[in-house]
Structure 1
Amino acid sequence: MVLALPEEAFGAFDTGDTAWIVTSAALVLLMTPGLAFFYGGLARGKSVLNMMMMSFISLATVSVVYVLWGFSMAFGNGITGDDDIAGLFSNPFALFGSGQLADVIPGPDDTELVVTGGMTIPSFVFMGFQLTFAVITVALISGALAERVKFATWTVFTVIWATIVYFPLSHMVWGGGIMSGAENGFASWMFGSTDGEANVAPIDFAGGTVVHINAGMAALVLALVVGARAGFGRTAYRPHNIPFVMLGAALLWFGWFGFNAGSELAADAVTGLVWVNTTAATAAAMIGWLAVELIRDKHATSVGAASGIVAGLVAITPACGALTPVGSLILGVIAGALAALAIGMKNKFGYDDSLDVVGVHLVAGLWGTVGIGFLAKDVGLFWGGDYKQLVVQVVIALFALVFTGVLTAIIAFALKPLGWRVSDEDEKSGIDEAEHAETAYELA
């Protein structure tokens, strides 16, 4: 028989690691309301509530489905010991409802004590931590759709996209699937393996592919399928509340320490390195973004500073455990400059990425993922003199682009019968009142 976790089983866990990951999960959870402020401030006043609600509903829907089948799809095989499905995802029903999240060890009197599967933290703690990543990845996409999308259609999209795109990609990269360093992964096919692990393993410490390339590519596809806002190219869409934007950036930076440093899944020396690298890259990226603004526009803006912060956080996310602090500074300043230049792409190519999800998350996420191949300590082209890591990083970045792009397009077209767009009249008068029967500010 299997008992509920008794007091004597807690010796199997490291209490310091457990406390840190629970704290990290709370920090990452805070990032989604922080994102709501960031996006809400960038939107116009008549759309701010809808913009924020798109993040908050993601927090609700994705949390529910992650508990029901998301964790099982992403990491179930590592808990149950079952084989995954073609290296793409785990059985959604193996841990359905997450009621059996543990291996067992022999206990007294022929009983079994429930303990975690191969980690120093309980499986429920790991599940909670990973749940918060799924939530914010979906919420990030919403920034490309500001001011024109039906709330009901977006809500349905959050569930389908998380299930078909996020959970499988999470498994492929982090859960032992084909994009991981496991023996069945592509890197083993390219460069061989030793003792069941690829000799040159892909590096995505906290979500360059799974979170940022994934969300950025999905945002680009939806912006193309849904179409531009009325007046795009003729109307100046100005942020209605820049202090909201700055507050959101501050909350994101604060929560990102849980995002990156928590991904070590322990409280150790690597956690400290990740904290320093995250700070270094983010600070350098803000400088890089503002430098572009000063050269190009002769002004350093508050919105630019906040956006540079996010670009640096995005870029260092996959690389934070593999770089030195100096490498992180280099990665960050380039990320800030690239993202500042990239946000003009929507005007050049004519797609309405309303709040620059593509310019910031996709571009900085691609640079952070590929930049590992140049800057990683000991294995990067510049720091280690070997090309293999760069090749592997390019492959996982390209795979994430294609995988997410194709599946998101299928989902977007499949939801067209529900209707993506609000009416022209509702868009003109304000989506807050049309979709939520509320306004953010009572001006009468």
Structure 2
Amino acid sequence: MAPAITLAADATLSAANTGFMLICSALVMLMTPGLAFFYGGMVRVKSTLNMLMMSFISLGIVTILWVLYGFSMAFGTDSGSIIGWSSDYVGLSGIGLTQLWDGYTIPIYVFAVFQLMFAIITPALISGALADRVKFSAWALFVALWATVVYFPVAHWVWGAGGWAFELGVIDFAGGTAVHINAGAAALGVILVIGKRVGFKKDPMRPHSLPLVMLGAGLLWFGWFGFNAGSWLGNDDGVGALMFINTQVATAAAVLAWLAYEKIRHGAFTTLGAASGAVAGLVAITPSGGAVSPLGAIAVGAIAGVLCAMAVGLKYKFGYDDSLDVVGVHLVGGVVGSLLIGFFATGGGQSDVAGLFYGGGLDQFWKQCAGVFAVLGYSLVASAVLAFLIDKTLGMRVSEDDEVAGIDQAEHAETAYDFSGGGGGSAFSAAPAAPAQEAKAKKVDA
């Protein structure tokens, strides 16, 4: 993320940069439906709609919280290097239409809406680890609490002027720590509290629609250009362009590396492996793409592709049920991408900081470690506590019977696919059925 400091006292509004950032904001918004399709295809048929809804509800909840107080907490005036707050940002009510963001050439409203899209997708990422077993009402409450207690403060640490990680010099161009490590650690914390799915390691739990997975991965890859390149806020110095090409290069390298590992380890090039490799590469380049060269991006993507492919199997070894590999891809990929900055930063990108391989020693590596493990530890513990409190009050999990029968029907009264020929898949009809049709429907349901 471009530093939240005044770069030019005489900055004036740029229509080009403003338009560019609005387009980038729309691209990042598209990533959340893309994530919904990606996750939705990876689950079994009976959980498809629930998986889609777990992403879509974040669009509603986080948007309102961001306007009310989230933007103020993340990017308001610093307090103790931990949290921000500015009364003008509460309700976004004290902001002028053309008031610029900290010396940049875009309005505050544009910066606020761009950052909103980051805030929306981060809790949605967590949902993949919880597939098949969480009450929708409990999930909605968790999203609201987690955004408030975890995401908003961590965004301030990493990107807000005065935040401790920002002041320390931790590099996170577009969200390796604030988004991916944050979400991956949260996912691990929650699943340690709520436990495994019924039938974990016993029943087949294969993706029901790989075309849907590939569609979601494609939308994520497309939207990620706005996610990454837009994070330089339209500055005309070439860094945004560097980040754009590095996003493509690292993702391509990760796809090839994941597939090569998969072929050697399991004997096949799988569609799911290609999609997962793409996401792993996107995650890893997110923090590092503004600091490394395209050759460095190949290395970052390839390393992430192999390590994330290896990491997804750890859940079977250690017995935690990360349903859709959020820990293996987002946590591990975020850690890899963030720490490799300490080795591959050229000193000629977003800053003059050089990594070990470019004569800079290990100073930046240790700074990256501080940011990575502080965010990981805080998110893990805070998320586990939130899940525990919700579980002991509202209850986090659906009943075992509902989980086995299908969470879509239990929580949403709908199914993703209608095999009866009636259309819509809803348990409710807009008009009463004829007696013969009603009897037939009951027979089908039975």
Q: TM-score, normalised by structure 2?
A: 0.88
Between the aligned partners of 1:165 and 1:339, the Cα distance in structure 2 is 24
Code of the residue aligned with 1:179 in structure 2: it is W
Between the aligned partners of 2:291 and 2:164, the Cα distance in structure 1 is 18
Match of 2:254 in 1: 285
Match of 2:208 in 1: 240
Residue correspondence of structure 1 range 159-170 to structure 2 within 5 A: 159-170=144-155
Cα distance, 1:17 vs structure 2: 1.0
Residue of 246, 264, 270 corresponding to 1:301: 270
Match of 2:141 in 1: 156
Native 8 Å contact 2:71 2:112 kept in 1: yes
Match of 2:109 in 1: 124
Cα distance, 1:11 vs structure 2: 8.7
Native 8 Å contact 2:99 2:108 kept in 1: no
Residues 237 and 135 from structure 1, CA distance in 2 versus in 1: closer, same or farther, beyond 3 angstroms? same
Between the aligned partners of 2:403 and 2:302, the Cα distance in structure 1 is 38
Match of 1:96 in 2: 90
Count of equivalent residues? 403
1:405-442 deviation line (CA, Å, top 9, x unaligned): 12112211111110011011110110000000000111
Residues 93 and 326 from structure 1, CA distance in 2 versus in 1: closer, same or farther, beyond 3 angstroms? same
Between the aligned partners of 2:37 and 2:252, the Cα distance in structure 1 is 21
**SS of 1:415 mapped into structure 2:** helix
Native 8 Å contact 2:87 2:94 kept in 1: no
Code of the residue aligned with 1:255 in structure 2: it is G
1:142-191 deviation line (CA, Å, top 9, x unaligned): 00000100000000111100000000000011002443343xxxx3xxxx
Cα distance, 1:306 vs structure 2: 0.2
Match of 1:354 in 2: 323
**SS of 1:90 mapped into structure 2:** strand
Match of 1:427 in 2: 403
Between the aligned partners of 1:361 and 1:139, the Cα distance in structure 2 is 12
Code of the residue aligned with 2:358 in structure 1: it is W
Q: List structure 1 segments (4+ residues) > 4 angstroms apart after TM superposition.
A: 113-116
Cα distance, 1:91 vs structure 2: 2.1
Does 1:396 find its partner at 2:371?
yes
Runs of at least 5 residues in structure 1 that lack an aligned partner in the other structure: 1-9, 78-83, 104-112, 188-200
Per mean C-alpha deviation after superposition, the further-off stretch among 15-24 and 173-182 is 173-182
Code of the residue aligned with 1:308 in structure 2: it is G
**SS of 1:323 mapped into structure 2:** coil
Residues 287 and 418 from structure 1, CA distance in 2 versus in 1: closer, same or farther, beyond 3 angstroms? same
Cα distance, 1:114 vs structure 2: 4.4
Residue correspondence of structure 1 range 242-391 to structure 2 within 5 A: 242-266=210-234, 268=236, 269-378=238-347, 379-391=354-366
**SS of 1:62 mapped into structure 2:** helix
Residues 11 and 179 from structure 1, CA distance in 2 versus in 1: closer, same or farther, beyond 3 angstroms? closer
Between the aligned partners of 1:300 and 1:141, the Cα distance in structure 2 is 27
1:314-370 deviation line (CA, Å, top 9, x unaligned): 000000100000000000000000000000010001010000000000001000000
Native 8 Å contact 2:83 2:163 kept in 1: no
**SS of 1:96 mapped into structure 2:** helix
Between the aligned partners of 1:12 and 1:387, the Cα distance in structure 2 is 39
Residue of 170, 191, 196 corresponding to 1:228: 196
Native 8 Å contact 1:101 1:116 kept in 2: no
Code of the residue aligned with 1:294 in structure 2: it is K
**SS of 2:76 mapped into structure 1:** helix
Between the aligned partners of 2:87 and 2:144, the Cα distance in structure 1 is 17
Residues 364 and 116 from structure 1, CA distance in 2 versus in 1: closer, same or farther, beyond 3 angstroms? closer
Between the aligned partners of 2:87 and 2:137, the Cα distance in structure 1 is 27
Residues 300 and 69 from structure 1, CA distance in 2 versus in 1: closer, same or farther, beyond 3 angstroms? same
